[in-house]
Amino acid sequence: MIEELSIRDLGVIGEAVLPLGPGFTAVTGETGAGKTMVVSALGLLFGERADTGSVRSGASQAWIEGRILVDSAGIVADRVRELGGEVEADGVDAAGAGGAGAGRAGSGAAAAGTAPDGELILSRSVSAEGRSRAVVGGRSAPISVLSELGSALVVVHGQSDQLRLKSQSAQRAALDSFAGPEFAARLTEYQTAYGRWQGHRAEIEALVTERSARLREADRLRAAVDEIAAVEPVEGEDAELTELADRLTNVEELRLAAAEAHEAISSETGENADTIGLVDAARRSLERVAHHDSSLAPIVEALANASFILSDAGTQLAGYVANLESDEPGALDRIQERRAALTSLARKYGPELSDVIAYAAEAGPRLLELDSDSDRIEELTSLVDDELAALERLAAELTELRRAAGTTLAAGVTEELSALAMPNARFVVEVQEREELGSSGRDLVQFLLRPHEGSEPRPLNKGASGGELSRVMLAIEVVLAAADPVPTFVFDEVDSGVGGASAIEIGRRLAALARTSQVIVVTHLAQVAAFATNHLRVEKDLDGPVTASNVVQLTGDDRLAEMARLLSGLPDSDSGLAHAAELLETATSLAVPH
C-alpha cells in the first residue's frame, strides 16, 4: 500500500505531497491542472520509461518518492534486502490505518492477506538530459528493479495503457487464480508431473544424442581397466621399487663399504687390531685398578657397553654383506621392467600411482552405467509414455475446470459491465487447446469483448475505446478481487464517457474494490469522487512566470465545494452545494457493504 507520494518538478507540478493511505483515494482538479501527472509519477516510481519532456520547465530534474507499506516477511521485502536495501519495521501500524484514508466502514484494509508491517522507501529521479536514477530502500538500484517490485505492488489502468492482464499468459494466470483451490491443487499436481516428464524426456534425449560419445567412453574405460588390471599396481609399490633398484644398481659399492666397516670393527684375519679388541683391552686395563678409584667404575661400564654395541654392529654388517651377495641374478632387470610398467600407467592415468588405482576403482561403476544405456533408454521410453498419458488426462481436467471458471468469470464481468454504462457489452473468456503441452497445461486463454449486439468478440485492446477499456478492467478487477487481490489499483479516467447513474455505479464498484485493496482514481466526475474515503485536489497556481500545480487534501467544506464544482462548475452555488451534500450522503449509504 502506498502511504505517501512526494512529487517535485514533474510536468506542471512544482512540489506536492499526496497523503494516500488505505481505501479509495480520488484525485480531482480542473482541466490542465496536472491530474494525470499523479498517474505519471506512479508509473515512473514503478519503472516506466522516462520522458525528458515530463521534467518541469526550468528544472534540472523531476523527482518522485513513495513511502510504501509492505509485509516485512514478504517477497517484496526479501527482494529489497537481496539488493542491500532496508525495510523499516518501526512506527508502522500493522492494521494498515494511515489516517488520510480512514473513515468509511470497510475501507481500512490495505490489501487482502497479511497486513503490512514494514515501510519501504522508493525514489526515482529523471534529469532534463534524460539520465534516470532509482533508489530502493536507501540503496541505488537499476530501474528494472522498480518495475520488478511494481509488478507485485501496483496495477495501473490508464487511458493509453492497460498494464495488467495485457498478455495471454497474464489472463490465464488471472483465470487460474479465479478458478479456486480445487483448480490450484490440480494445477500443482499437473506441474509436478510435467516436471518429471520433462526431466525423463531430457534424459532420453541426452542418452540418444550422446550415444556415440558414450560408446567411445566405454571402450576407452574398458581398455584402461584391462591395462591396469594386467599390471595390478599396489599402493606405495613404486617408492619401494625405486629404493630397491637404487640398492641393486650400487650393490658392489655397498658390499665393499660394509666389508670394510665390518673389518674395522671386528677383524677376523688378525693382521690388524680391530676396534672391539682395542675396546676390550682398554676395559681390562681399567678393571685391574678400578678398585683403587671408584670414579673409574662408570668408564669401565661405558667401555663394556661400547663393546656390546660394536659386537652387535659387526654381526649386522656381516648379515648385510651376506644378503647383498645372495641377490638373485637378473633381479635388477625385473625391477626396472616393473617400474617402467608403473610409470606408463601413471603417465596415462596419474600422475601418481595412487591416482591410477583410484581411476580403476571409479571406472568400474561408470562402465556398468554406460553399458546399461540401452536398457535405460527402453525403461525411460516406457516411463515417458505412461507419464504422457497421465499428463493428457490432467491437462483435460484443467481445460474443463478453466472453461467452467471462464464461464463464471465472463458472466460476472458481463453483469458488472451492464451497470457500468455498457449494457449491450458481453465479456467472453475463450479457452482453446493447443497441440503441445506446456507447464500450465495445453490451454490458451484470451479475454475478449463484444461491445454491442451483432459484433464479434475481439481482444480487449481492440474491442473497446480507452474509457470503455478502463471500465472493462474495473469490472474484471471487481470480480477477480476476491480470488486475486492486488495491493494497489490505479485507474486513470475510468469514468470517461459516462455520467449520471452509470457514474454512481462506477463509484460503488471502486468502493467495493477498496475494501480489499488500495484504490487511487483520477476522475472528473463527482459521482465517482463521492465514494472516496480520501479526496485530493490538484490546483494550478498562475502567479509565477511558469504555471505550477500542487496537491491539497480536502475535508469538510473544502471537499463539499470541490464536489459542487465537479457537479456544476460553481463551487459557491447554494444549489450546487446542496446537490453535493446529497450526493455525498447517497454515496455513503450505497458504499456500505451488504
Query: pLDDT at position 112, please?
Result: 42
Q: What is the CA radius of gyration of the chain?
A: 46
pLDDT reading at 238 higher than 90:
no
Query: pLDDT at position 65, please?
Result: 96
**Cell numbers linked to 495:** 469514468
The sheet with strand 488-492 has its strands ordered as: 139-141, 132-136, 118-127, 61-70, 2-10, 13-19, 548-554, 534-541, 24-29, 518-522, 488-492, 154-157
Partners of residue 132 on adjacent β-strands: 126
* 458 three-state secondary structure: strand
pLDDT band at 221 (very low <50, low <70, confident <90, very high): confident
Query: pLDDT at position 109, please?
Result: 39
488, part of any domain:
no
Give 38's contacts (C-beta < 8 A, 6+ positions apart).
5, 7, 18, 27, 520, 522, 536, 538, 551
Range 371-398 average pLDDT: 87
Query: pLDDT at position 250, please?
Result: 77
pLDDT band at 158 (very low <50, low <70, confident <90, very high): low
| Residue 358 belongs to domain spanning | 215-371
Indicate the number of domains in the chain.
1
Query: pLDDT at position 405, please?
Result: 96
239, part of any domain:
yes
Q: What is the mean pLDDT of the chain?
A: 84
Q: Which of 48-52, 141-145, 590-594 has the lowest mean pLDDT?
A: 590-594
The burial class, CB within 10 Å (0-12 / 13-18 / 19+), for 294 is exposed
Query: pLDDT at position 553, please?
Result: 93
> Rounded CA gap, 502 and 481, in Å?
21
Half-sphere exposure of 511 (CA within 13 A, CB side): 27
> Rounded CA gap, 167 and 446, in Å?
8
206, part of any domain:
no
Q: pLDDT tens for residues 106-134?
A: 333 344 445 678 999 999 999 988 899 99
pLDDT-above-90 percentage for the chain: 35
pLDDT reading at 536 higher than 70:
yes
Please name the helix (run of DSSP H) or strand (run of DSSP E) that holds residue 436, with its range, or none.
Answer: strand 426-438
The total of other beta-carbon atoms located within 10 Å of residue 148's CB is 18
pLDDT band at 393 (very low <50, low <70, confident <90, very high): very high
Query: pLDDT at position 151, please?
Result: 85
Give 204's contacts (C-beta < 8 A, 6+ positions apart).
377, 380, 381, 384
302, part of any domain:
yes
pLDDT band at 469 (very low <50, low <70, confident <90, very high): confident
Query: pLDDT at position 401, please?
Result: 96
The total of other beta-carbon atoms located within 10 Å of residue 566's CB is 25
> Rounded CA gap, 426 and 414, in Å?
5
Q: Which of 329-333, 409-413, 422-426, 475-479 has the lowest mean pLDDT?
A: 329-333
Q: pLDDT tens for residues 355-384?
A: 888 888 888 787 777 766 677 778 888 999
Query: pLDDT at position 251, please?
Result: 75
Q: Among 517, 533, 526, 429, which residue's Cα sits nearest to residue 476? A: 429
Q: In terms of pTM, does the model score above 0.75?
A: no
Range 536-548 average pLDDT: 72
> Rounded CA gap, 332 and 124, in Å?
84
pLDDT reading at 32 higher than 60:
yes
> Rounded CA gap, 357 and 581, in Å?
94
Length of the chain: 594
Return the exposure string of 151-185: e unless at least 16 CB atoms fall within 10 Å of the residue's CB, then b: eebbbbbbbeebbbbeeeeebbebbbbbbeeebee
**500: region left, alpha or beta (phi > 0 left; psi from -120 to 50 alpha):** left
Q: 212 or 122: whose pLDDT is higher? A: 122
SS3 for 91-116 is: CCCCCCCCCCCCCCCCCCCCECCCCC
358, part of any domain:
yes
Query: pLDDT at position 546, please?
Result: 58
pLDDT band at 325 (very low <50, low <70, confident <90, very high): low
531, part of any domain:
no
295, part of any domain:
yes
pLDDT reading at 210 higher than 90:
no
> Rounded CA gap, 538 and 522, in Å?
10
CA distances from 448 to 414, 442, 474, 517 (A): 11, 19, 15, 25
Q: What share of the chain is helix, strand, coil (3-state, %, to 5)?
A: 55, 20, 25
512, part of any domain:
no
CA distances from 8 to 1, 273, 424 (A): 21, 114, 44
> What single string gives the DSSP state of each residue in 410-422?
HHHHHHHHHHTT-
Partners of residue 426 on adjacent β-strands: 450
Partners of residue 444 on adjacent β-strands: 432
Query: pLDDT at position 159, please?
Result: 58
- Contact of 5 with 20, CB cutoff 8 Å: yes
pLDDT reading at 197 higher than 90:
yes
Q: pLDDT tens for residues 58-99?
A: 889 999 999 999 998 889 999 999 999 999 875 554 444 433
> Rounded CA gap, 430 and 408, in Å?
12
> Rounded CA gap, 338 and 231, in Å?
8
